[in-house]
Structure 1
Amino acid sequence: MRERQQIIEIAGNKIKPTQKFVLNLIKLAILIPPFMMLAKVDSWMFILPLVFVLGGYFILLRPFSLYFASQYIDKAIRDFKRQQEN
């Protein structure tokens, strides 16, 4: 599992700046509306929607990150194996 995480991290580091910019715009478009709604809640009840927003962040945005990194997985695996040999 740890090796898989390292390979995904290597692939994520290979994402081009323009793709990272698009990915960050997608994240903002998904995250801003729920946080705007949370800002209007005055009571302690904001904790429940906050939990859903944070859960949704990982459920919705992780696949976008993996999609952008997927085209670099083969290179990342080769780099990871090369690092393991050294």
Structure 2
Amino acid sequence: MKFYFSSNQIEALQAFNLHQRQQIIDIAGSKIKPTQKFVLNLIKLAILIPPFMMLAKVDSWLFILPLVFIMVGYFVVLRPFSLYFANQYIDKAIRDFKRQQED
């Protein structure tokens, strides 16, 4: 199981620029099976709910701390999980992307 923190780390996407990689990942994300989407959404909830609960209880400038947790949680945990699930469909997504470019 290999996790990627950025789309430019995925070997199959090396030949594409950032905008094209994002489009391909969106196409791959749309191909994720419903059960995998459910698991991914549960992971997102498990990571994002605690900082938002902390944020709701804080009245002072300390609200910045939960916001930092949310940002770190997204980039360090959620983005790699999203790329992991989408990576299974990258080859199909690249074919679909090239077909769209031809049209």
Question: Could you state the TM-score of these two structures normalised by the residue count of structure 2?
Answer: 0.75
- What do the CA deviations read for 1:1-27 (whole angstroms, capped 9, x no partner)? 111111111000111111111100010
CA distance in 2, matches of 1:60, 1:35: 16
- The higher-RCO structure (CA 8 Å, 6+ apart) is 1
User: Which position in structure 2 is the counterpart of 1:7?
Assistant: 24
| Segments ≥4 residues shifted beyond 4 Å | none
Distance in 2, matches of 1:8 and 1:21, equals: 18
Aligned residue among 38, 44, 68 for 2:85: 68
Structure 1 unaligned spans of 5+: none
Q: CA deviation at 1:41?
A: 1.3
1: distance between equivalents of 2:78 and 2:27? 18
TM-score by length of 1: 0.88
Residue correspondences, number: 86
- CA positional deviation for 1:56: 2.6
Q: Out of 40, 59, 74, which is 1:57 matched to?
A: 74
Which aligned pairs between 1:1-86 and structure 2 lie closer than 5 A?
A: 1-86=18-103
| 1:80 partner letter | F
**SS of the residue 2:70 aligns to:** helix
Q: Structure 2: where are the runs of 5+ without partners?
A: 1-17
Deviates more, 1:45-54 or 1:5-14: 45-54
1:32-70, Cα deviation, whole Å (9 max, x unpaired) = 112222222111221243134224323320000001111
Identity over aligned residues, as a percent?
85
